[in-house]
């Protein structure tokens, strides 16, 4: 069925949802999310997100489910990746990843890694991130061309998380390629046999790679996350090979694509709001708050899923136990009931409790690291390029689940300076 162009003229919730999922509509997503929230804020969709689920788009409802003591995420949420035998290795690894683990396995893995991702712990990576972003910008100035996605947004977070995991620099290009194929396989709305095949190859390569690295770190320990995970001896003993490999891979995956998306979506947002950009150039000390507002305004992880052990009542609708909730984080963050004038990117707004990092037991483990990297990238770009502008239209990836740009060509003018600012 053809989808009407004007979201406000569309009142069938399923039709609105099909528009939301339509890869062609990434650039104009939010009017559709607003329309869904106004016509059907609590809606049971059949067959659009797995077998069926309650789609929530109001801030209060999304927050209530994320905080509900009976709502949980478990390995059944990884069923969406199940395509049968041809994609079995990838699905098995996803079932082991922390986001889909329930207690006590979840709490065990989280406790092991969480202390390396506190605001204080991640500060030690700030200088390395700054140096890396300056190096990447120098390369762009030399080339006279900058595609922010390819040249900065992806390489920066992957360099940092590889360093944290102890992946040698010489292996980063290899890991980068696997990470790309792994991420495409995770976009379940755009699977082809080739994407599935490459996803399997990347999963098996990743597994062998991290198990080899772990073996090496057992004999020659270093100050990195792979050494720590390889040598765990807590009350349950050592980590299984499956848990060890899945934890390294998920830190790598969760640690780069989402952050890359926010760097490029954030710069796109600032270029579309020149007054906000000018304000940050004048007052770079406002960048940390601006990053939170950018996360509220447009985010990468658009969906979280939960199930509940008990019925949950949402504004008059009783959802029975065991049903799936599809929580639309981006829609919640643009809910006018939570944030006045939500479509305006206002870098002076303090977007309290914005939901881009989720909430509750599974709240983003890497939130402080992500903020640090986005701050570093934006600060360096504004400082180095007094005249930054679009060179061509940004190109969105097709995915709604993990929203981001495939390319963002930028023009930076002849007055761009290389090296460290004096
Ligand atoms: C701007 C960048 C990022 C965004 C928008 C983001 C978003 C999120 C969201 C929404 C969740 C919760 C999902 C849910 O409840 O269903 C999450 C979980 C998670 N994130 Fe991030 N994330 C980002 C960066 C990172 C980084 C840099 C890491 C570092 C390794 C990371 C690691 C994780 C992990 C391990 C979880 C699962 C936590 C758990 O299940 O206990 N993320 N993230």
Query: Is residue 326's pLDDT more than 50?
Result: yes
- Residues framing ligand 1 (Cβ under 6 A): 73, 98-99, 110, 250-251, 254-255, 258-259, 262, 299-301, 304, 329, 356-358, 362, 364-366, 369-370
The two tokens of residue 173 are: 């290009």
The stretch 187-202 carries a mean pLDDT of 91
pLDDT in tens, 124-170: 999 999 999 999 999 999 999 999 999 999 999 999 999 999 999 99
How buried is residue 139: exposed, middle or buried, by Cβ count under 10 Å (0-12/13-18/19+)? middle
The two tokens of residue 305 are: 């899923």
Q: How far is the CA of 231 from the centre of ligand 1 (A)?
A: 24
pLDDT in the model for residue 9:
87
pLDDT in tens, 63-89: 999 999 999 988 878 888 899 999 999
Residue 46 binned pLDDT confidence (cut-offs 50, 70, 90): confident
H-helix or E-strand spanning residue 274: helix 274-282
The residues near 314 (Cβ < 8 Å, ≥ 6 apart) are 42, 56, 61, 64, 65
Query: Is residue 23's pLDDT more than 90?
Result: no
pLDDT in tens, 219-257: 999 999 999 999 999 888 999 999 999 999 999 998 889
pLDDT in tens, 198-211: 999 999 999 999 99
Query: Is residue 422's pLDDT more than 50?
Result: no
- How distant, in Å, are the alpha carbons of 16, 166, 345 from that of 298? 19, 32, 9
Q: Which fold has domain 46-411?
A: Cytochrome p450 (1.10.630)
Taking the domains of the chain in order of start, what are their residue ranges?
1-40, 46-411
pLDDT in the model for residue 225:
97
Residue nearest to atom 17 of ligand 1 (CA): 364
The two tokens of residue 257 are: 């694509």
Query: Is residue 372's pLDDT more than 60?
Result: yes
In this structure, of 35-39, 55-59, 374-378, 415-419, the range with the lowest mean pLDDT score is 415-419
Nearest ligand 1 atom, CA 109: 41
Nearest ligand 1 atom, CA 300: 5
Number of H helices, E strands in the chain: 18, 12
In this structure, of 28-32, 46-50, 161-165, 361-365, the range with the lowest mean pLDDT score is 46-50
pTM for this predicted structure: 0.95
Residue nearest to atom 34 of ligand 1 (CA): 365
Residue nearest to atom 16 of ligand 1 (CA): 304
pLDDT in the model for residue 418:
64
The stretch 265-285 carries a mean pLDDT of 97
Residue 107 binned pLDDT confidence (cut-offs 50, 70, 90): very high
Count other C-beta atoms under 10 Å from residue 188's C-beta: 15
């Amino acid at each position: 069925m053809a989808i009407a162009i004007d979201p406000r003229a569309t009142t069938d919730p399923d039709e609105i949802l099909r528009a939301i999922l339509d890869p062609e509509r990434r650039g104009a997503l939010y009017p559709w999310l607003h329309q869904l929230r106004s016509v059907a804020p609590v809606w049971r969709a059949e067959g659009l997100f797995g077998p069926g689920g309650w789609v929530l788009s109001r801030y209060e409802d999304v927050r209530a489910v994320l905080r509900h003591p009976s709502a949980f995420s478990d390995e059944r949420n990884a069923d969406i990746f199940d395509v049968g035998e041809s994609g079995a290795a990838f699905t098995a690894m996803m079932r082991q990843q922390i986001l889909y683990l329930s207690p006590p396995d979840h709490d065990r893995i989280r406790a092991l890694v969480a202390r390396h991702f506190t605001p204080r712990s991640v500060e030690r990576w700030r200088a390395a991130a700054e140096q890396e972003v300056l190096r990447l910008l120098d390369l762009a100035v030399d080339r006279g061309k900058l595609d922010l996605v390819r040249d900065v947004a992806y390489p920066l977070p992957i360099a940092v998380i590889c360093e944290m995991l102890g992946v040698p620099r010489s292996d980063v290009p290899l890991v980068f390629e696997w990470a790309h194929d792994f991420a495409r396989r995770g976009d379940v709305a755009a699977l082809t046999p080739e994407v599935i095949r490459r996803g399997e190859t990347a999963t098996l390569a990743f597994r062998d790679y991290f198990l080899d690295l772990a073996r090496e770190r057992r004999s020659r320990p270093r100050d990195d996350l792979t050494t720590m995970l390889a040598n765990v001896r807590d009350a349950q003993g050592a980590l299984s090979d499956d848990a060890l490999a899945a934890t390294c891979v998920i830190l790598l995956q969760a640690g780069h694509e989402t952050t890359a998306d926010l760097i490029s979506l954030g710069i796109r947002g600032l270029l579309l709001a020149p007054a906000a950009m000018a304000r940050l150039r004048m007052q770079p000390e406002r960048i940390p708050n601006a990053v939170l507002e950018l996360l509220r305004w447009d985010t990468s992880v658009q969906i979280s899923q939960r199930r509940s052990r008990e019925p949950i009542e949402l504004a008059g609708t009783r959802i029975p136990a065991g049903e799936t909730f599809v929580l639309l984080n981006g829609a919640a963050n643009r809910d006018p009931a939570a944030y006045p004038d939500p479509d305006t990117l206002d870098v002076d707004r303090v977007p309290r409790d914005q939901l881009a990092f989720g909430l509750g037991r599974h709240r983003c483990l890497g939130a402080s690291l992500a903020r640090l990297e986005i701050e570093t990238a934006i600060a360096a770009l504004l400082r180095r390029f007094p005249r930054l502008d679009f060179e061509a239209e940004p190109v969105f990836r097709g995915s709604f689940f993990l929203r981001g740009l495939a390319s963002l060509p930028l023009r930076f003018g002849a007055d761009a300076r290389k090296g460290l600012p004096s």
